[in-house]
Amino acid sequence: MRIELICTGDEVLTGKIVNSNFSYMSQKLEDAGLDVVWGTTVGDDRESLLQAFRLAAGRADAVIVNGGLGPTVDDLSQEIAAQAAGCELVLSEEWLARMEAFFQRRSRVMPSNNRKQAMLPASAEIIDNPIGTACGFALDIGRARFFFTPGVPRELKRMLEEQVIPRLLARSGLQSTIHLKRFHSYGLGESHVDALLAGVETLVSDGGVKLGFRAHYPQLETKLTVRGRDLDDVRAKLAPVEAEVRKRLGNFILAEDDQTLEGVVLAELASRQATLSVVESFTGGQIAARVAHLPGAEKAFRRGIVARDLSEIAAAVGLDATPTEITRETAEAVAQAARRTTGATHVLSALVNLDDGPDRIEFGGTICLAIATEADVASRRSRVVGGREWVRLGAIEMALDCLRRYLQGLPVVERIDFEKT
Amino acid sequence: MRIELICTGDEVLTGKIVNSNFSYMSQKLEDAGLDVVWGTTVGDDRESLLQAFRLAAGRADAVIVNGGLGPTVDDLSQEIAAQAAGCELVLSEEWLARMEAFFQRRSRVMPSNNRKQAMLPASAEIIDNPIGTACGFALDIGRARFFFTPGVPRELKRMLEEQVIPRLLARSGLQSTIHLKRFHSYGLGESHVDALLAGVETLVSDGGVKLGFRAHYPQLETKLTVRGRDLDDVRAKLAPVEAEVRKRLGNFILAEDDQTLEGVVLAELASRQATLSVVESFTGGQIAARVAHLPGAEKAFRRGIVARDLSEIAAAVGLDATPTEITRETAEAVAQAARRTTGATHVLSALVNLDDGPDRIEFGGTICLAIATEADVASRRSRVVGGREWVRLGAIEMALDCLRRYLQGLPVVERIDFEKT
């Protein structure tokens, strides 16, 4: 099935906002086994919209139009949809009643210009928007089925996932169940993981499992899209592949599905009623900031200490003598001292010795990490090169991932692709 | 002049990467007084590329194509450009020599597949890429001039700004000088600023100044695009409008052009050889993290202290008694104690009393900020509502902006649009 996306609106066309709705839709469709083949972006302009609708109607089987369903004069999607389909705009009493109830629940009177949102092409099928006043709808233009969706991301998300994708799957004959399994890792590059996972798809003979990646440094997301007759079939297909991915990526898998690295760390701490203090230098508070604001962190997060100067760090954690340089031993001594000072069960210290001079692609930093508990201390040294921001992001992720490894009883030191030595 | 953008590549089409090149190009062109009227996104697919080029060639005066100039088999832009223009691909000895020198400077031998990047349509004009091996080029297809640019953002940026935009301005007859003046503010919403600035464009009678906005909560960017005969003319036109914007937005302007809020704060501290410590709760280290990693912060940033618990904060800053609740007075006492403990000339404390219960749109927090110096203490209380993340981002920005105001001798307390009381 040939699917096209049309994104509308002056704000998107002029780049005033980055068009993340496009990538969101395209990814969601891919995850459901549906491929987008063409994208069009036009402004709030009658002639452009009509032309875009007509071109897509002549090429595609299905078209998703995003935006232009609002109450203001520059929202033109219903009007141009009716024109392209060759039908009238008529008032939907059904949607009008829905909107009036929507405002009533919020103890507000519906402004008169919202009435426009209930004007739909005569041939349109209403597509529900349970959380907004923009009415989704579908209709045929030319040979294609058009789906009109709101520009507000959370309304689009609900409508795409609950309403549009099931209709597309039904039309495509792919009435199978689709499941997306995701693994998040840190430390291995995309091509490395691709090589490590060579052949995992073929563990299922019918091609029902597809492997994909999404890199967002420092993390990499590995995706398995599984298609089956029903949920049991999907589970049966996923099980051996999933187990194989876990085996091959091993300790590098830091979280799965909707989990995050910081969420996993917090859950590990909470499960043993542990508390955490963090000592940082160049990372400037960003390691603490990943964890400390999370719901539940008010119990587990004890204290964060930030300083750029080693003597200031020594003073803050109560070390008698200031270490002369940043080493693994320094990171260990700082973590142990901070444990005594703050009384946390676990302390993570992350000290970075930055290169001198201006930022450049060869700019690097030596990262010394330590994790201290009452009985134990673990540490790691790593050199990362690639510019100031690359070092900063790498140090934050490495620190949190080492803590995750420690809490999960895995080796803290394991060679990663992003380090020089 | 009718300008279209064509973004190519499977990674963009499938949403694997968000297409920020599109918004970047569109904004840059708008800043130069050039409007984009249509955007197309297609994958690395011969038929789609050819169709996209032909459709744009029939509609536009100028087309910028992004991506597909790399050395691998799925990079198809030169090949399809030649096909659409009806000419041969020929080896550019000029570009081949440039590439060989490029690799030589890096002490590497040019891989053989890079030779493909020097194969250009016979009618192409080379467009220089001083920082990469992808050769930009321009040629006519149909009635439109096509500009082919690399997908790597920093290469695109150089080529668009230095090569493509001047050519577009020359073709459009807009051979005037364009200047973009930007103001960054915090605390006033876009529609409020729009109303405050009503009529500023008309201070210049010839329509040479255009007002625009770009909102990225919590900050708002106000843009003046000025067009003139030459730099003197631009300066003369900008001066009265710029002065009027500064007057009307006043204390809310936190930075201009490439400056950032954290950069302004750091510069103010450095100019008086002052030092800063920061004490935070729910913001979790993010206030410190905005400042502490900057070049130059190793001198000015003294210490950051993070804790979610008020008694832990009291212990960390050396307060004798733990305050019973978060108030302005508590924030002041914490800042003053931290000043004594850390010896910084300036301390910013930012404490947030969060609502109970799960995250929701009505979820809010009461933010209490204080700034202490040896001689003085200033503070501010504010209630922000709009969900957990909205409160977190608002508290970070408000804290840094209050510090900026304090350092600049402006009132720390001034009503903003984002607060409830």
CATH number at residue A388: 3.90.950.20
pLDDT in tens, A130-160: 888 999 999 999 999 999 999 989 999 999 9
Residues 6+ apart with CB under 8 A from B271: none
- Give the DSSP H or E segment for A79: helix A77-85
The predicted pLDDT at position B13 comes to 94
The predicted pLDDT at position B173 comes to 80
The predicted pLDDT at position B390 comes to 93
ipTM of the complex: 0.83
The predicted pLDDT at position A131 comes to 87
- H-state helical runs in B148-296: 153-159, 165-172, 190-196, 231-249, 261-271, 286-291
In chain B, residues with a C-beta closer than 8 Å to the C-beta of A302 are 307, 309, 312
pLDDT in tens, A157-187: 999 999 999 999 989 886 677 788 999 999 9
> CATH code at A8?
3.40.980.10
A227 with A174: CB under 8 angstroms? yes
In chain A, residues with a C-beta closer than 8 Å to the C-beta of B295 are 359, 388
Q: Cβ of A293 and B307 within 8 Å?
A: no
- Percentage of chain B beyond pLDDT 70 is 99
The predicted pLDDT at position A228 comes to 86
Q: Cβ of B13 and A39 within 8 Å?
A: yes
Q: Which residue of B has its CA nearest to A37?
A: B42
The predicted pLDDT at position B353 comes to 97
Q: Cβ of B13 and A37 within 8 Å?
A: yes
> CATH code at B234?
3.30.70.2860
The predicted pLDDT at position B147 comes to 98
Q: Are B248 and B340 members of one domain?
A: no
Average pLDDT over residues B69-84: 92
Q: Are A223 and A138 members of one domain?
A: no
Q: Cβ of B22 and A41 within 8 Å?
A: yes
The predicted pLDDT at position A119 comes to 96
Bridge pairing between strands A377-385 and A219-228 = unpaired
Q: Which tops the pLDDT comparison, A344 or B112?
A: A344
Sort A19 into a burial class: Cβ within 10 Å, 0-12 / 13-18 / 19+.
buried
The candidate with the shortest Cα–Cα distance to A123, out of A135, A145, A140, A136, is A140
B177 with B227: CB under 8 angstroms? yes
| A421 pLDDT above the threshold of 80 | no
Asked if residue A395 is part of any domain, the answer here is yes
The candidate with the shortest Cα–Cα distance to A85, out of A52, A47, A120, A123, is A123
pLDDT in tens, A279-338: 999 999 999 999 999 999 999 999 999 999 999 999 999 998 999 999 999 999 999 999
Sort B233 into a burial class: Cβ within 10 Å, 0-12 / 13-18 / 19+.
middle
Q: Cβ of A306 and B306 within 8 Å?
A: yes
Q: Are A120 and A200 members of one domain?
A: no
Asked if residue A73 is part of any domain, the answer here is yes
**Which of A30, A34, A41 is most worth mutating to test chain B (most B CB atoms within 10 A of its CB)?**
A41
Least confident of A99-113, B57-71, B92-106: A99-113
Q: Are A42 and A168 members of one domain?
A: yes
**Minimum distance, in Å, between the CA of residue B218 and any CA atom of chain A:** 15
pLDDT in tens, B301-337: 999 999 999 999 999 999 989 999 999 999 999 999 9
**Minimum distance, in Å, between the CA of residue A164 and any CA atom of chain B:** 18
Asked if residue B367 is part of any domain, the answer here is yes
In chain B, residues with a C-beta closer than 8 Å to the C-beta of A312 are 302-303, 342
The predicted pLDDT at position A112 comes to 85
Asked if residue A419 is part of any domain, the answer here is no
Distance CA B39, CA B5 (A): 5
Torsion angles phi and psi, residue A121, rounded to 5: -55, 140
| B42 pLDDT above the threshold of 90 | yes
The predicted pLDDT at position B175 comes to 60
Asked if residue A412 is part of any domain, the answer here is no
Show which of B139, B172, B205 is a domain's final residue: B172
Average pLDDT over residues A394-398: 98
The candidate with the shortest Cα–Cα distance to B167, out of B153, B149, B182, B155, is B149
The predicted pLDDT at position A146 comes to 98
Identify any residues that bridge with A177 across adjacent strands, giving them in sequence order: A228
**Minimum distance, in Å, between the CA of residue B91 and any CA atom of chain A:** 31
Distance CA A237, CA A227 (A): 8
pLDDT in tens, B126-163: 999 988 899 999 999 999 999 999 998 999 999 999 99
Q: Which residue of B has its CA nearest to A343?
A: B312
Q: Which residue of A has its CA nearest to B292?
A: A284
The predicted pLDDT at position A288 comes to 98
Q: Are A58 and A137 members of one domain?
A: yes
The predicted pLDDT at position B32 comes to 86
* Residue A250 pLDDT class (50, 70, 90 cuts): very high
The predicted pLDDT at position A71 comes to 86
In chain B, residues with a C-beta closer than 8 Å to the C-beta of A295 are 359, 388
Q: Are A122 and A153 members of one domain?
A: yes
The predicted pLDDT at position A214 comes to 81
Q: Cβ of B14 and A20 within 8 Å?
A: no
pLDDT in tens, B238-270: 999 999 999 999 999 999 999 999 999 999 999
Average pLDDT over residues A236-242: 95
Which residue range forms the structural domain that includes residue B229? 177-256
Q: Are B195 and B83 members of one domain?
A: no
pLDDT in tens, A117-130: 999 999 999 999 98
**Minimum distance, in Å, between the CA of residue B415 and any CA atom of chain A:** 26
Asked if residue A268 is part of any domain, the answer here is yes
Show which of B211, B231, B256 is a domain's final residue: B256
The predicted pLDDT at position A216 comes to 82
Q: Are A142 and A188 members of one domain?
A: no
Please give the tally of structural domains in chain B: 3
Q: Are A192 and A161 members of one domain?
A: no
Q: Are B129 and B210 members of one domain?
A: no
Asked if residue B219 is part of any domain, the answer here is yes
In chain A, residues with a C-beta closer than 8 Å to the C-beta of B284 are 285, 288-293, 297, 301, 304
| A108 pLDDT above the threshold of 90 | no
**From residue A177, how far is each of A205, A210, A211, A295 by CA, in Å?**
17, 14, 17, 34
Distance CA A44, CA B30 (A): 16
Q: Cβ of B27 and A15 within 8 Å?
A: yes
Least confident of A370-374, B13-17, B298-302: B13-17
Q: Are B159 and B299 members of one domain?
A: no
- Percentage of chain A beyond pLDDT 90 is 78
Q: What is the DSSP letter of A356?
A: S
Nearest to B282 among A13, A45, A293 (CB): A293
Q: What is the DSSP letter of A318?
A: T
pLDDT in tens, B156-178: 999 999 999 999 998 988 667 77
Show which of A235, A256, A277 is a domain's final residue: A256
Bridge pairing between strands A3-8 and A36-42 = parallel
The candidate with the shortest Cα–Cα distance to A38, out of B14, B409, B152, B371, is B14
pLDDT in tens, B369-412: 999 999 999 999 999 998 999 999 999 999 999 999 999 999 99
The predicted pLDDT at position B228 comes to 86
Nearest to A285 among B285, B302, B316 (CB): B285
Q: Are A363 and A290 members of one domain?
A: yes
| A61 pLDDT above the threshold of 70 | yes
Rounded to 5°, angle at Cα B50 from B47 and B52: 105
Asked if residue B204 is part of any domain, the answer here is yes
The predicted pLDDT at position B33 comes to 84
